[in-house]
Amino acid sequence: MEIAHILVLIFSFTILLVLGVPISFSIGIATIATMLMGIEGGPALTTVAQRMATGLDSFALLAIPFFILSGQLMNRGGIARRLIDFAKTLVGMFPGGLAFVNTMAAMLFGSISGSAVATASAIGGFMVPTMQKEGYDLNYSAAVNLTSATTGLIIPPSNILIVYSLASGGVSIGALFVAGYFPGIVIGLSLMVVAGVIAHKKKYPVSEKVRIKDGILRFLNAVPSLFLIILVIGGIVAGYFTATEASAIAVLYAFILSVLIYREVKWKDLPKILLDSATTTAIVMLLIGTSMGMSWLISYENIPQNISAALMALSSSRIIILLFINFLLLLVGIFMDITPAVLIFTPIFLPVVTQLGVDPIHFGIIMVLNLSIGLCTPPVGTVLFVGCGIAGTSISKVLKPLLPLFLAMLIALLLVTFIPSISLFLPKLFGY
Protein backbone atom coordinates (compact mmCIF):
# COMPACT_ATOMS: atom_id res chain seq x y z
CA MET A 1 0.00 0.00 0.00
CA GLU A 2 1.30 3.42 -0.85
CA ILE A 3 2.16 5.80 2.00
CA ALA A 4 -0.77 8.03 1.02
CA HIS A 5 -3.21 5.15 1.45
CA ILE A 6 -1.76 4.26 4.84
CA LEU A 7 -2.08 7.86 5.99
CA VAL A 8 -5.68 8.07 4.80
CA LEU A 9 -6.57 4.86 6.62
CA ILE A 10 -4.90 5.86 9.90
CA PHE A 11 -5.89 9.52 10.02
CA SER A 12 -9.48 9.06 8.87
CA PHE A 13 -9.99 6.34 11.47
CA THR A 14 -8.37 8.44 14.22
CA ILE A 15 -10.30 11.61 13.37
CA LEU A 16 -13.60 9.73 13.33
CA LEU A 17 -12.88 8.25 16.76
CA VAL A 18 -11.97 11.68 18.14
CA LEU A 19 -15.26 13.05 16.78
CA GLY A 20 -17.13 10.37 18.70
CA VAL A 21 -18.26 8.29 15.72
CA PRO A 22 -19.02 4.70 16.82
CA ILE A 23 -16.02 2.49 16.22
CA SER A 24 -17.78 0.16 13.77
CA PHE A 25 -18.72 3.11 11.53
CA SER A 26 -15.23 4.59 11.94
CA ILE A 27 -13.65 1.38 10.69
CA GLY A 28 -16.03 1.06 7.74
CA ILE A 29 -15.75 4.71 6.67
CA ALA A 30 -11.95 4.68 6.97
CA THR A 31 -11.80 1.55 4.81
CA ILE A 32 -14.05 3.07 2.13
CA ALA A 33 -12.14 6.38 2.22
CA THR A 34 -8.92 4.48 1.54
CA MET A 35 -10.53 2.59 -1.32
CA LEU A 36 -11.73 5.88 -2.80
CA MET A 37 -8.11 7.00 -3.01
CA GLY A 38 -7.92 4.60 -5.91
CA ILE A 39 -5.72 1.52 -5.75
CA GLU A 40 -4.28 1.08 -9.21
CA GLY A 41 -5.63 -2.07 -10.79
CA GLY A 42 -7.44 -2.82 -7.57
CA PRO A 43 -10.89 -4.23 -6.87
CA ALA A 44 -14.16 -2.32 -6.98
CA LEU A 45 -15.47 -0.44 -3.96
CA THR A 46 -18.30 -2.96 -3.60
CA THR A 47 -15.70 -5.51 -2.55
CA VAL A 48 -15.79 -4.00 0.96
CA ALA A 49 -19.49 -4.82 1.31
CA GLN A 50 -18.88 -8.28 -0.11
CA ARG A 51 -16.09 -8.94 2.40
CA MET A 52 -18.27 -7.73 5.25
CA ALA A 53 -20.99 -10.17 4.25
CA THR A 54 -18.69 -13.14 3.68
CA GLY A 55 -16.83 -12.35 6.91
CA LEU A 56 -20.04 -12.86 8.86
CA ASP A 57 -20.91 -16.02 6.94
CA SER A 58 -19.29 -18.33 9.47
CA PHE A 59 -20.88 -21.16 11.46
CA ALA A 60 -18.53 -20.46 14.40
CA LEU A 61 -19.94 -16.93 14.78
CA LEU A 62 -23.37 -18.41 15.48
CA ALA A 63 -22.11 -19.15 18.98
CA ILE A 64 -21.80 -15.44 19.80
CA PRO A 65 -25.53 -14.50 19.88
CA PHE A 66 -26.29 -17.64 21.89
CA PHE A 67 -23.60 -16.90 24.47
CA ILE A 68 -24.79 -13.28 24.64
CA LEU A 69 -28.35 -14.46 25.31
CA SER A 70 -27.25 -16.96 27.95
CA GLY A 71 -25.20 -14.20 29.60
CA GLN A 72 -28.25 -11.90 29.67
CA LEU A 73 -30.35 -14.63 31.29
CA MET A 74 -27.69 -15.34 33.91
CA ASN A 75 -27.09 -11.65 34.55
CA ARG A 76 -30.71 -11.23 35.63
CA GLY A 77 -31.32 -14.69 37.04
CA GLY A 78 -29.81 -14.31 40.51
CA ILE A 79 -26.67 -16.23 39.57
CA ALA A 80 -24.30 -13.39 40.47
CA ARG A 81 -25.59 -13.20 44.05
CA ARG A 82 -25.22 -16.94 44.60
CA LEU A 83 -21.67 -16.92 43.23
CA ILE A 84 -20.77 -13.99 45.50
CA ASP A 85 -22.09 -15.90 48.53
CA PHE A 86 -20.05 -18.92 47.49
CA ALA A 87 -16.92 -16.78 47.01
CA LYS A 88 -17.40 -15.30 50.50
CA THR A 89 -17.27 -18.83 51.87
CA LEU A 90 -13.94 -19.48 50.17
CA VAL A 91 -12.00 -16.24 50.66
CA GLY A 92 -14.11 -13.88 52.76
CA MET A 93 -12.28 -14.67 55.99
CA PHE A 94 -9.02 -12.99 54.90
CA PRO A 95 -8.16 -9.35 55.67
CA GLY A 96 -9.56 -7.25 52.87
CA GLY A 97 -11.55 -10.32 51.95
CA LEU A 98 -14.29 -8.48 50.08
CA ALA A 99 -11.76 -7.55 47.38
CA PHE A 100 -10.90 -11.26 47.11
CA VAL A 101 -14.61 -12.07 46.97
CA ASN A 102 -15.13 -9.54 44.18
CA THR A 103 -12.26 -11.02 42.17
CA MET A 104 -13.27 -14.65 42.66
CA ALA A 105 -16.95 -13.95 42.00
CA ALA A 106 -15.97 -12.12 38.79
CA MET A 107 -13.88 -15.09 37.70
CA LEU A 108 -16.75 -17.49 38.36
CA PHE A 109 -19.42 -15.29 36.76
CA GLY A 110 -17.15 -14.43 33.85
CA SER A 111 -16.53 -18.11 33.22
CA ILE A 112 -20.30 -18.55 32.91
CA SER A 113 -21.34 -15.40 31.05
CA GLY A 114 -18.20 -14.87 28.90
CA SER A 115 -18.68 -11.10 29.05
CA ALA A 116 -16.50 -8.57 30.89
CA VAL A 117 -19.17 -5.86 30.71
CA ALA A 118 -21.87 -8.18 32.10
CA THR A 119 -19.51 -9.27 34.87
CA ALA A 120 -18.61 -5.71 35.85
CA SER A 121 -22.30 -4.84 35.94
CA ALA A 122 -23.65 -7.92 37.73
CA ILE A 123 -20.87 -8.41 40.29
CA GLY A 124 -20.19 -4.70 40.77
CA GLY A 125 -23.86 -4.00 41.40
CA PHE A 126 -23.65 -6.20 44.52
CA MET A 127 -20.03 -5.87 45.60
CA VAL A 128 -19.22 -2.15 45.28
CA PRO A 129 -22.01 -1.01 47.66
CA THR A 130 -21.15 -3.85 50.06
CA MET A 131 -17.45 -2.95 50.07
CA GLN A 132 -18.24 0.71 50.62
CA LYS A 133 -20.52 -0.18 53.53
CA GLU A 134 -17.70 -2.20 55.13
CA GLY A 135 -15.31 0.76 54.97
CA TYR A 136 -13.55 0.21 51.65
CA ASP A 137 -12.65 3.21 49.53
CA LEU A 138 -15.26 3.62 46.77
CA ASN A 139 -12.74 4.21 43.99
CA TYR A 140 -10.62 1.24 45.06
CA SER A 141 -13.74 -0.94 45.08
CA ALA A 142 -14.58 0.17 41.55
CA ALA A 143 -11.00 -0.50 40.41
CA VAL A 144 -11.04 -4.05 41.81
CA ASN A 145 -14.41 -4.74 40.18
CA LEU A 146 -13.57 -3.55 36.68
CA THR A 147 -10.11 -5.17 36.48
CA SER A 148 -11.34 -8.53 37.77
CA ALA A 149 -14.22 -8.43 35.28
CA THR A 150 -11.76 -8.86 32.40
CA THR A 151 -11.00 -12.44 33.50
CA GLY A 152 -14.27 -13.42 31.82
CA LEU A 153 -12.65 -12.77 28.43
CA ILE A 154 -9.95 -15.36 29.14
CA ILE A 155 -11.79 -18.00 31.15
CA PRO A 156 -14.21 -19.81 28.80
CA PRO A 157 -16.72 -19.59 27.31
CA SER A 158 -15.43 -16.40 25.72
CA ASN A 159 -16.88 -14.68 22.68
CA ILE A 160 -13.61 -12.96 21.85
CA LEU A 161 -11.78 -16.30 21.65
CA ILE A 162 -14.35 -17.32 19.03
CA VAL A 163 -13.53 -14.13 17.11
CA TYR A 164 -9.81 -14.93 17.34
CA SER A 165 -10.48 -18.41 15.95
CA LEU A 166 -12.16 -16.78 12.94
CA ALA A 167 -9.37 -14.23 12.44
CA SER A 168 -6.60 -16.82 12.76
CA GLY A 169 -7.99 -19.00 10.03
CA GLY A 170 -9.47 -21.79 12.10
CA VAL A 171 -7.60 -22.35 15.36
CA SER A 172 -9.73 -24.78 17.39
CA ILE A 173 -12.29 -22.97 19.56
CA GLY A 174 -12.27 -25.89 21.98
CA ALA A 175 -8.49 -25.65 22.33
CA LEU A 176 -8.70 -21.89 22.94
CA PHE A 177 -11.41 -22.39 25.55
CA VAL A 178 -9.37 -24.98 27.42
CA ALA A 179 -6.21 -22.87 27.12
CA GLY A 180 -7.87 -19.91 28.84
CA TYR A 181 -8.32 -21.48 32.27
CA PHE A 182 -4.83 -21.21 33.75
CA PRO A 183 -4.07 -17.73 32.33
CA GLY A 184 -7.40 -16.50 33.73
CA ILE A 185 -6.53 -17.94 37.13
CA VAL A 186 -3.06 -16.32 36.95
CA ILE A 187 -4.69 -12.91 36.36
CA GLY A 188 -7.14 -13.44 39.22
CA LEU A 189 -4.40 -14.51 41.64
CA SER A 190 -2.22 -11.55 40.60
CA LEU A 191 -5.07 -9.16 41.37
CA MET A 192 -5.67 -10.89 44.71
CA VAL A 193 -2.02 -10.52 45.70
CA VAL A 194 -2.14 -6.78 45.08
CA ALA A 195 -5.51 -6.55 46.87
CA GLY A 196 -3.99 -8.37 49.85
CA VAL A 197 -1.07 -5.93 50.04
CA ILE A 198 -3.42 -2.94 49.84
CA ALA A 199 -5.71 -4.49 52.48
CA HIS A 200 -2.76 -4.93 54.86
CA LYS A 201 -1.55 -1.39 54.23
CA LYS A 202 -4.96 0.25 54.70
CA LYS A 203 -6.13 -2.22 57.39
CA TYR A 204 -9.31 -3.18 55.60
CA PRO A 205 -11.57 -5.42 57.70
CA VAL A 206 -12.12 -9.16 57.58
CA SER A 207 -15.40 -10.12 55.96
CA GLU A 208 -17.99 -12.26 57.69
CA LYS A 209 -16.90 -15.65 58.98
CA VAL A 210 -19.12 -18.32 57.53
CA ARG A 211 -20.09 -21.36 59.58
CA ILE A 212 -19.48 -24.74 57.98
CA LYS A 213 -23.22 -25.42 57.74
CA ASP A 214 -23.87 -22.11 55.98
CA GLY A 215 -20.86 -22.64 53.74
CA ILE A 216 -22.16 -26.00 52.57
CA LEU A 217 -25.58 -24.46 51.93
CA ARG A 218 -24.04 -21.65 49.87
CA PHE A 219 -22.03 -24.16 47.87
CA LEU A 220 -25.14 -26.21 47.14
CA ASN A 221 -26.97 -23.06 46.03
CA ALA A 222 -24.11 -22.22 43.65
CA VAL A 223 -23.73 -25.75 42.22
CA PRO A 224 -26.46 -25.39 39.53
CA SER A 225 -24.75 -22.23 38.26
CA LEU A 226 -21.27 -23.75 38.38
CA PHE A 227 -22.50 -26.85 36.57
CA LEU A 228 -22.88 -24.77 33.40
CA ILE A 229 -19.07 -24.59 33.18
CA ILE A 230 -18.82 -28.38 33.30
CA LEU A 231 -21.71 -28.78 30.87
CA VAL A 232 -20.33 -26.43 28.20
CA ILE A 233 -16.59 -27.06 28.41
CA GLY A 234 -16.89 -30.72 29.38
CA GLY A 235 -19.17 -31.38 26.42
CA ILE A 236 -16.76 -29.67 24.00
CA VAL A 237 -13.67 -31.46 25.35
CA ALA A 238 -15.44 -34.83 25.39
CA GLY A 239 -16.52 -34.31 21.79
CA TYR A 240 -20.25 -34.47 22.47
CA PHE A 241 -20.89 -31.15 20.75
CA THR A 242 -19.14 -28.23 19.07
CA ALA A 243 -18.67 -24.77 20.58
CA THR A 244 -21.64 -23.50 18.57
CA GLU A 245 -23.86 -26.32 19.79
CA ALA A 246 -22.58 -25.72 23.32
CA SER A 247 -23.73 -22.09 23.12
CA ALA A 248 -27.29 -23.21 22.32
CA ILE A 249 -27.18 -25.66 25.22
CA ALA A 250 -25.96 -22.83 27.46
CA VAL A 251 -29.05 -20.80 26.53
CA LEU A 252 -31.37 -23.71 27.31
CA TYR A 253 -29.67 -24.39 30.65
CA ALA A 254 -29.61 -20.68 31.61
CA PHE A 255 -33.32 -20.43 30.74
CA ILE A 256 -34.20 -23.44 32.89
CA LEU A 257 -32.06 -22.16 35.76
CA SER A 258 -33.17 -18.51 35.71
CA VAL A 259 -36.85 -18.92 34.78
CA LEU A 260 -37.92 -22.33 36.06
CA ILE A 261 -35.62 -23.10 39.01
CA TYR A 262 -34.49 -19.78 40.55
CA ARG A 263 -37.58 -18.01 39.13
CA GLU A 264 -35.85 -14.62 39.25
CA VAL A 265 -36.51 -14.02 35.56
CA LYS A 266 -40.24 -13.70 34.92
CA TRP A 267 -41.91 -14.69 31.68
CA LYS A 268 -42.81 -11.05 31.10
CA ASP A 269 -39.07 -10.18 31.27
CA LEU A 270 -38.14 -12.44 28.36
CA PRO A 271 -39.08 -10.05 25.48
CA LYS A 272 -36.84 -7.33 26.99
CA ILE A 273 -33.99 -9.83 27.47
CA LEU A 274 -34.33 -11.04 23.88
CA LEU A 275 -34.37 -7.46 22.58
CA ASP A 276 -31.27 -6.51 24.60
CA SER A 277 -29.49 -9.64 23.38
CA ALA A 278 -30.39 -8.86 19.76
CA THR A 279 -29.16 -5.27 20.15
CA THR A 280 -25.83 -6.40 21.61
CA THR A 281 -25.47 -9.06 18.93
CA ALA A 282 -26.12 -6.51 16.17
CA ILE A 283 -23.42 -4.20 17.58
CA VAL A 284 -20.90 -7.05 17.81
CA MET A 285 -21.69 -8.35 14.33
CA LEU A 286 -21.41 -4.91 12.76
CA LEU A 287 -18.01 -4.55 14.44
CA ILE A 288 -16.96 -7.91 13.06
CA GLY A 289 -18.23 -7.13 9.56
CA THR A 290 -16.50 -3.75 9.22
CA SER A 291 -13.34 -5.11 10.83
CA MET A 292 -13.26 -7.95 8.31
CA GLY A 293 -13.50 -5.35 5.54
CA MET A 294 -10.53 -3.39 6.90
CA SER A 295 -8.60 -6.60 7.56
CA TRP A 296 -9.13 -7.66 3.95
CA LEU A 297 -7.88 -4.29 2.68
CA ILE A 298 -4.76 -4.55 4.85
CA SER A 299 -4.09 -8.09 3.65
CA TYR A 300 -4.74 -7.17 0.00
CA GLU A 301 -1.93 -4.65 0.15
CA ASN A 302 0.49 -7.14 1.80
CA ILE A 303 0.72 -5.16 5.03
CA PRO A 304 1.07 -8.32 7.21
CA GLN A 305 3.97 -9.58 5.08
CA ASN A 306 5.71 -6.20 5.15
CA ILE A 307 5.32 -5.83 8.91
CA SER A 308 6.47 -9.41 9.42
CA ALA A 309 9.61 -8.74 7.38
CA ALA A 310 10.24 -5.48 9.26
CA LEU A 311 9.89 -7.13 12.66
CA MET A 312 12.13 -10.04 11.72
CA ALA A 313 14.71 -7.54 10.46
CA LEU A 314 14.43 -5.63 13.73
CA SER A 315 15.60 -8.60 15.78
CA SER A 316 15.88 -12.36 15.56
CA SER A 317 15.25 -12.68 19.31
CA ARG A 318 11.92 -14.24 20.18
CA ILE A 319 11.87 -12.36 23.49
CA ILE A 320 12.42 -8.96 21.86
CA ILE A 321 9.78 -9.55 19.19
CA LEU A 322 7.18 -10.73 21.71
CA LEU A 323 7.89 -7.77 24.00
CA PHE A 324 7.53 -5.40 21.04
CA ILE A 325 4.25 -7.00 19.93
CA ASN A 326 2.94 -6.86 23.49
CA PHE A 327 3.80 -3.16 23.65
CA LEU A 328 2.02 -2.48 20.34
CA LEU A 329 -1.07 -4.43 21.41
CA LEU A 330 -1.23 -2.55 24.70
CA LEU A 331 -1.21 0.72 22.73
CA VAL A 332 -3.86 -0.61 20.34
CA GLY A 333 -6.04 -1.63 23.29
CA ILE A 334 -6.06 1.93 24.60
CA PHE A 335 -7.62 3.31 21.41
CA MET A 336 -9.56 0.39 19.91
CA ASP A 337 -12.21 -2.01 21.15
CA ILE A 338 -11.13 -5.62 21.58
CA THR A 339 -13.23 -7.19 18.78
CA PRO A 340 -11.98 -5.11 15.83
CA ALA A 341 -8.46 -5.16 17.28
CA VAL A 342 -8.39 -8.96 17.24
CA LEU A 343 -9.80 -9.14 13.71
CA ILE A 344 -7.43 -6.53 12.29
CA PHE A 345 -4.17 -7.35 14.06
CA THR A 346 -4.32 -11.16 14.22
CA PRO A 347 -3.51 -11.52 10.48
CA ILE A 348 -0.67 -9.02 10.96
CA PHE A 349 1.08 -10.48 14.00
CA LEU A 350 0.21 -14.19 13.80
CA PRO A 351 2.55 -14.88 10.82
CA VAL A 352 5.37 -13.19 12.73
CA VAL A 353 5.03 -15.23 15.90
CA THR A 354 4.49 -18.52 14.06
CA GLN A 355 7.85 -17.96 12.36
CA LEU A 356 9.32 -17.71 15.86
CA GLY A 357 7.73 -21.00 16.87
CA VAL A 358 4.91 -19.57 18.98
CA ASP A 359 1.81 -21.78 19.04
CA PRO A 360 -1.27 -20.00 17.57
CA ILE A 361 -3.30 -21.10 20.60
CA HIS A 362 -0.74 -19.53 22.94
CA PHE A 363 -0.66 -16.33 20.90
CA GLY A 364 -4.45 -16.09 20.98
CA ILE A 365 -4.38 -16.04 24.78
CA ILE A 366 -1.55 -13.48 24.77
CA MET A 367 -3.46 -11.24 22.38
CA VAL A 368 -6.76 -11.37 24.26
CA LEU A 369 -5.03 -10.79 27.59
CA ASN A 370 -3.23 -7.77 26.13
CA LEU A 371 -6.36 -6.21 24.72
CA SER A 372 -8.36 -6.98 27.88
CA ILE A 373 -6.12 -4.56 29.75
CA GLY A 374 -7.15 -1.90 27.23
CA LEU A 375 -10.79 -2.32 28.29
CA CYS A 376 -9.82 -0.77 31.62
CA THR A 377 -8.11 2.28 30.13
CA PRO A 378 -9.47 5.56 28.73
CA PRO A 379 -10.53 6.81 26.23
CA VAL A 380 -12.50 3.81 24.87
CA GLY A 381 -12.34 1.28 27.72
CA THR A 382 -15.90 -0.05 27.88
CA VAL A 383 -15.37 -1.94 31.13
CA LEU A 384 -13.87 1.20 32.69
CA PHE A 385 -16.97 3.23 31.83
CA VAL A 386 -19.36 0.52 33.03
CA GLY A 387 -17.40 -0.02 36.27
CA CYS A 388 -17.33 3.71 37.06
CA GLY A 389 -21.01 4.02 36.21
CA ILE A 390 -21.95 1.15 38.52
CA ALA A 391 -19.89 2.68 41.35
CA GLY A 392 -21.17 6.21 40.72
CA THR A 393 -17.68 7.67 40.50
CA SER A 394 -15.52 9.33 37.84
CA ILE A 395 -12.72 7.91 35.72
CA SER A 396 -10.21 10.46 37.05
CA LYS A 397 -10.80 9.31 40.63
CA VAL A 398 -10.46 5.61 39.76
CA LEU A 399 -7.18 5.89 37.85
CA LYS A 400 -4.93 6.13 40.93
CA PRO A 401 -6.18 2.92 42.64
CA LEU A 402 -6.14 1.27 39.20
CA LEU A 403 -2.36 1.64 38.78
CA PRO A 404 -1.22 -1.19 41.13
CA LEU A 405 -3.89 -3.46 39.65
CA PHE A 406 -2.65 -2.61 36.15
CA LEU A 407 0.83 -3.62 37.30
CA ALA A 408 -0.54 -6.97 38.48
CA MET A 409 -2.18 -7.55 35.09
CA LEU A 410 1.04 -6.64 33.25
CA ILE A 411 3.03 -9.10 35.37
CA ALA A 412 0.45 -11.78 34.62
CA LEU A 413 0.75 -10.92 30.91
CA LEU A 414 4.53 -11.38 31.00
CA LEU A 415 4.18 -14.71 32.82
CA VAL A 416 1.68 -15.98 30.25
CA THR A 417 3.80 -14.68 27.36
CA PHE A 418 7.09 -16.28 28.38
CA ILE A 419 5.81 -19.44 30.08
CA PRO A 420 3.86 -21.10 27.24
CA SER A 421 2.88 -24.10 29.38
CA ILE A 422 0.46 -21.87 31.31
CA SER A 423 -1.65 -21.70 28.15
CA LEU A 424 -0.73 -24.96 26.46
CA PHE A 425 -0.69 -27.49 29.29
CA LEU A 426 -4.43 -28.22 29.24
CA PRO A 427 -4.82 -28.25 25.42
CA LYS A 428 -1.98 -30.77 25.19
CA LEU A 429 -3.47 -32.79 28.04
CA PHE A 430 -6.79 -33.07 26.19
CA GLY A 431 -5.14 -33.86 22.85
CA TYR A 432 -5.54 -30.56 20.97
pLDDT in tens, 123-147: 888 888 888 888 888 999 999 999 9
β-sheet bridge partners, residue 95: 206
pLDDT of 41 > 60? The answer is no
**Contact yes or no for 349/323 (Cβ under 8 A):** no
Give the whole-angstrom CA distance, residue 222 versus residue 358. 38
- Global confidence as pTM: 0.85
Omega of the bond prior to 427 within 30 degrees of 0, cis? no
pLDDT of 273 > 60? The answer is yes
Share of the chain above pLDDT 90, in %: 22
**Contact yes or no for 128/145 (Cβ under 8 A):** yes
**Contact yes or no for 282/94 (Cβ under 8 A):** no
Instruction: Return the pLDDT at 422.
Output: 95
Find the helix packing angle between 63-75 and 97-113, rounded to 10°.
Answer: 140
DSSP for residue 206: B
- Per-residue pLDDT of 169-216, as tens digits, reads 888 888 999 999 999 999 999 999 998 898 888 888 776 677 777 778
- Average pLDDT value for residue range 217-243: 84
* Chain centroid offset of residue 109 CA: 13
pLDDT of 336 > 90? The answer is no
